């Protein structure tokens, strides 16, 4: 695809933070906009799954390839590898995993938290904008529920959404008790902002470091907890099942340091492996951390869990195009919430900036495709996020409220106070995932899923601030429920579920050349390849 | 941009983990290690300087500094070593044990006895990739000014490079986090949140009462 539009240098020369901007054009029908420009609707990007619990359902093509693939582990591999027994195994050391581990440990369980990279290396630590909870007098739990369902195009599960919204205020109390700070007003109230697609001011935050502040506190609490053991650099490469392959009784972990395998046997496994941005679906750049390769979806699917909304992903409207080492990285929606406008190559507004993310994203893609973008070269095109105008209206605001943005761009020659930021949609969030109940339990006994790997809450589009709420709300729910399974059963662990999957793949005539989960994107694997 | 275009021809020689490589101009140390397909670069996470994983030691001639690989660009002759994760914490406490804020000073010094022994060597400050005034933060904490001390550590990414640099084993990063945590734990009682929690509690009570009365 060749992109037309205004060359960057020319657009920069034209740009003035005080230029007159015309009125917003009358909005087009958002359904039409979405179906024409949103990447979920790209022709050929969605296929039908042939095997597994979602057979017959649709799924994004790149993800389907990973779900319907061969495993790393064979029956023979299980012999002679060291075995560890714990009450609860938590897979993934982001916010959801830590919340689940802490809650299970508080309930007296011996918990092992195994994570792929370093504890806290996660999407959670990068969250900037904030966390939603209905706490303002003019707001209500009901409004929060409605906004979430409407934002998700009514594809979300109303029960799950209601529980999450009700948990909101108590989640904040739990986090504060653990020692998390939030922004306050002069009289000591929690300061709130209004996020895109919401009817009330409901986003609480800690500068633009909300995720960092949350992760620091959770990480420290987990590390210092006497009931929790943490294994870093230890990705789960397969789950283990009982003799009939129908319940989850553990996992196989691989060491990124020496490649060695370990078996963990347990009553409950809590999958908290986060998202899949690093699959770069449809060729998009991503805002996600390095470990976001959709491993949890693959593991859960192979052991028989049902997944949902596998063809719906969130592309965040404002990913950086430049500087290049930050390509795909986010400029938080908080900047738009604070009043920054989006301008095309002609210097005009083209969308209400606080529309839901999918709508804003589709509008930006439309501008770029129709030649009204600003381009660096054939591959890199975007629109302006007008930060200098915001700074002019309220000098010092960027430094004060968005130190993270400022610190990331410092040293790269782009100063958001004087130069608008070139932005383009970036792959950001997995809307769907493992189908769960109110305890975070999947359709497979013994297997829980929480956080971004789980689905059902955000429908087909997530509104800002609900992910951080979900990970704590459901992390705690699953942590609690995971300790109540007393069924220790015969301690025979098998990979019987893999035999089921292999048979199905063979019947469907699908190739079994590729082994998954991905663990690390190919470009980060080095040679020799980490498995 | 200029750097990007030049990058196709010009190369920058440097070493990473003892391996000599030729990197493109303008890439970060992480990108350079990936491009050279170096194995074992798994101390990497966010790629934007907030997770604190990609700790590196940098040598330029005789000068040795510390930094974050995803935020450092390649330079001719630079010697880079990716550092292993830091060792397990030596200071233990559980915030849920803190019920009384009046004895917090005694508790702090019991948990971090070294904090009052800072010898002002600036080791922590020079090692901090986020340019945090770590030493001042430690001094404020030792003086019992937890809120102010915590504020100093706002941008701390928990890389724990300062911990490794401190000859007194003070663990400044954890001192900072302690200060932030007790500030929230004891002092954050926002009226809007407290009110909503109380409303929800009453509603739940009324709900369960209503149900039993109706029955
Ligand atoms: C840049 C950015 C900004 C965001 N801003 C906001 C915001 O302002 N508000 C909001 O509500 N949400 C925000 N989100 C979304 C939100 O941060 C995430 O959805 C949420 O934090 C996910 O939490 P999690 O614990 O489920 O996953 P993560 O935090 O990603 O943690 C998953 C963990 O699992 C590990 N893992 C992965 N695979 C394996 C494996 N095979 N074995 C073992 N471990 C594994 C990973 O290494 C990681 O540590 C943002 C996301 C990004 C990327
Ligand atoms: S204060 Fe210490 S842990 Fe925090 S960023 Fe600086 S060096 Fe890293
Ligand atoms: S490194 Fe340790 S002793 Fe030196 S100034 Fe910092 S806190 Fe004090
Ligand atoms: S990768 Fe997170 S700080 Fe460098």
Q: Is residue B207 part of a domain?
A: no
Expressed in angstroms and rounded, the spacing between residue B174 Cα and the centre of ligand 2 is 9
Q: How confident is the model at residue A528 (pLDDT cuts 50, 70, 90)?
A: very low
**Residue A440 sits in the same domain as residue A423:** no
CATH of the domain at B50: 3.10.20.30
Mean of the per-residue pLDDT values for chain A? 93
**Residue A324 sits in the same domain as residue A245:** no
Question: Quick one: B92 exposed, middle or buried, by C-beta within 10 A (0-12, 13-18, 19+)?
Answer: exposed
Dump pLDDT digits (tens) for B118-177: 999 999 999 999 999 999 999 999 999 999 999 999 999 999 999 999 999 999 999 999
**Residue B47 sits in the same domain as residue B69:** yes
CATH of the domain at A404: 3.90.700.10
How many domains in chain A? 2
Q: Is residue A514 part of a domain?
A: no
Residues of A in contact with B27 (CB under 8 A): 325
Q: Is residue A60 part of a domain?
A: no
Q: Is residue A115 part of a domain?
A: yes
What is the ipTM score, two decimals?
0.94
Does the annotation mark A336 as catalytic? yes
Expressed in angstroms and rounded, the spacing between residue A509 Cα and the centre of ligand 1 is 35
Q: Is residue A517 part of a domain?
A: no
**Residue B70 sits in the same domain as residue B105:** no
**Residue A358 sits in the same domain as residue A412:** yes
d(CA B76, CA A136): 55
Q: How confident is the model at residue A334 (pLDDT cuts 50, 70, 90)?
A: confident
Q: How confident is the model at residue A42 (pLDDT cuts 50, 70, 90)?
A: confident
Answer whether residue B211 shows pLDDT above 70.
no
| Residue span of the structural domain in which B121 resides | 95-186
**Residue A302 sits in the same domain as residue A337:** no
Q: What is the pLDDT of residue A356?
A: 82
**Residue B99 sits in the same domain as residue B180:** yes
**Residue B117 sits in the same domain as residue B64:** no
Q: Is residue B117 part of a domain?
A: yes
| Residue span of the structural domain in which A128 resides | 75-310+432-483
Q: How confident is the model at residue A338 (pLDDT cuts 50, 70, 90)?
A: confident
- Token pair in block for residue A81: 């590898």
Dump pLDDT digits (tens) for A418-468: 999 999 999 999 999 999 999 999 999 999 999 999 999 999 999 889 999
Measured over the CA atoms of residue A395, residue A397, residue A403 and residue A406, the dihedral's sign is negative
Q: Is residue A392 part of a domain?
A: yes
Chain A 101-140, residues with CB within 8 Å of chain B CB atoms: 117-118, 120-122, 125-126, 133-137
DSSP per residue, A274-339: ---GGG-GGG--B-S-TT-S-HHHHHHHHTT--EE-TT-EEEEEEEE-SSGGGTT-B--HHHHHTT
**Residue A291 sits in the same domain as residue A247:** yes
Range picked from A10-19, A35-44, A167-176 for highest mean pLDDT = A167-176
Q: How confident is the model at residue B210 (pLDDT cuts 50, 70, 90)?
A: low
**Residue A224 sits in the same domain as residue A159:** yes
**Residue B148 sits in the same domain as residue B100:** yes
**Residue A275 sits in the same domain as residue A331:** no
> Looking at chain A, which residue has its C-alpha nearest residue B29?
A325
CATH of the domain at B112: 1.10.1060.10
Decide which of A483, A500, A519 is a domain's last residue: A483
DSSP per residue, A88-150: EEEE--SHHHHHHHHHHHHTT--EEEE-SSSTT-SSGGG--S-EE---STT--HHHHHHHHHH
Q: Is residue A207 part of a domain?
A: yes
> Could you give the C-alpha distances from B111 to A98, A206, B168, in angstroms and in order?
23, 27, 14
Task: Answer yes or no: is the C-beta of B157 below 6 A from any ligand 2 atom.
Answer: yes
**Residue A330 sits in the same domain as residue A476:** no
**Residue A451 sits in the same domain as residue A344:** no
Q: Is A331 on the interface with B (CB under 8 A)?
A: no
Decide which of B58, B82, B106 is a domain's last residue: B82
Average pLDDT over residues A135-139: 97
**Residue B56 sits in the same domain as residue B103:** no
- pTM of the model as a whole: 0.94
**Residue A442 sits in the same domain as residue A415:** no
How many domains in chain B? 2
CB atoms within 10 A of CB A309: 24
């Amino acid at each position: 695809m060749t992109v037309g539009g205004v060359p960057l240098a020319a657009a920069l020369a034209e740009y003035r933070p005080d230029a007159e901007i015309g009125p917003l054009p009358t909005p087009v029908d958002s359904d039409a906009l979405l179906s024409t420009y949103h990447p979920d609707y790209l022709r050929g990007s969605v296929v039908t799954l042939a095997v597994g619990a979602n057979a017959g359902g649709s799924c994004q093509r790149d993800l389907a390839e990973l779900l319907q693939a061969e495993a790393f582990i064979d029956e023979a591999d299980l012999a002679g590898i060291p075995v560890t027994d714990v009450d609860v195994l938590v897979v993934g050391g982001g916010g959801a995993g830590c919340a689940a581990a802490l809650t299970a440990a508080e309930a007296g369980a011996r918990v092992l938290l195994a994570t792929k990279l370093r504890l806290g290396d996660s999407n959670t630590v990068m969250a900037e904008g904030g966390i939603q909870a209905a706490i303002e007098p003019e707001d209500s739990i009901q409004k929060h529920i409605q906004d979430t369902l409407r934002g998700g195009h009514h594809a979300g599960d109303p029960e799950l959404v209601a529980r999450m919204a009700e948990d909101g205020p108590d989640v904040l109390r739990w986090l504060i008790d653990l020692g998390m700070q939030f922004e306050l007003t002069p009289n000591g109230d929690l300061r709130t902002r209004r996020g895109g697609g919401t009817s009330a001011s409901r986003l609480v935050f800690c500068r633009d470091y909300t995720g960092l502040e949350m992760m620091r506190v959770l990480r420290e609490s987990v590390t210092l907890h006497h009931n929790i053991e943490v294994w870093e650099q230890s990705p789960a490469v397969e789950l283990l099942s009982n003799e009939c392959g129908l319940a989850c009784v553990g996992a196989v972990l691989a060491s990124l340091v020496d490649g060695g395998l370990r078996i963990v046997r347990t009553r409950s496994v809590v999958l908290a492996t986060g998202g899949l941005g690093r699959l770069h679906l449809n060729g998009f750049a991503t805002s996600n951390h390095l470990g976001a390769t959709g491993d949890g979806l693959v593991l859960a699917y192979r052991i028989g869990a049902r997944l949902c909304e596998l063809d719906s992903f969130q592309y965040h409207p404002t990913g950086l195009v430049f500087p290049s080492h930050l390509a795909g990285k986010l400029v938080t929606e908080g900047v738009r919430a604070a009043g920054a406008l989006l301008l095309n190559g002609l210097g005009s507004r083209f969308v209400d900036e606080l529309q839901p993310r999918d709508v804003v994203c589709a509008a930006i893609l439309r501008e770029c495709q129709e030649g009204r973008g600003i381009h660096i070269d054939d591959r890199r095109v975007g629109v302006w996020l007008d930060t200098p105008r915001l700074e002019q209206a309220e000098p010092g605001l960027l430094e004060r409220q968005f130190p993270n943005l400022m610190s990331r761009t410092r040293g790269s020659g782009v100063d958001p106070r004087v130069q608008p930021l070139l932005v383009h949609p970036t792959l950001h969030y997995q809307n769907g995932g493992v189908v769960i109940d109110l305890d975070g339990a999947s359709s497979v006994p013994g297997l829980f899923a929480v956080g971004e790997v789980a689905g059902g809450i955000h429908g087909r589009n997530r509104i800002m601030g609900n992910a951080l709420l979900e990970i704590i709300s459901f992390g705690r729910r699953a942590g609690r429920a995971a300790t109540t399974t007393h069924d220790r059963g015969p301690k025979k662990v098998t990979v019987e579920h893999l035999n089921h999957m292999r048979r199905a793949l063979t019947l469907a005539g699908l190739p079994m050349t590729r082994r998954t989960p991905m663990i690390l994107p190919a470009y980060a694997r080095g040679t020799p390849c980490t498995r | 941009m200029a750097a990007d275009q030049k990058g196709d021809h010009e190369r920058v020689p440097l070493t990473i983990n003892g391996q000599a490589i030729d990197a493109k101009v303008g890439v970060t140390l992480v990108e350079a290690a990936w491009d050279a397909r170096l194995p074992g670069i798994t101390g990497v996470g966010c790629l934007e300087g907030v997770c604190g994983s990609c700790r590196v030691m940098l040598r330029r001639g005789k000068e040795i500094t510390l930094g974050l690989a995803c935020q450092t660009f390649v330079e001719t002759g630079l010697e880079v070593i990716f550092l292993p994760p830091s060792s397990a914490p030596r200071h233990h406490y559980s915030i849920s044990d803190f019920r009384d804020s009046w004895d917090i000073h005694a508790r702090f010094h019991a948990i971090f006895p070294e904090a009052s022994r800072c010898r002002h060597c600036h080791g922590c400050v020079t090692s901090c990739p986020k340019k945090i005034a770590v030493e001042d933060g430690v001094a404020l904490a030792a003086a019992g000014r937890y809120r102010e001390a915590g504020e100093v550590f706002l941008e701390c990414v928990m890389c724990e490079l300062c911990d490794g640099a401190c000859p007194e084993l003070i663990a400044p990063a954890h001192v900072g986090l302690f200060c932030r945590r007790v500030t929230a734990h004891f002092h954050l009682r926002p009226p809007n949140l407290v009110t909503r929690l109380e409303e929800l509690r009453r509603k739940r009570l009324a709900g369960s009462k209503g149900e039993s009365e109706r029955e």
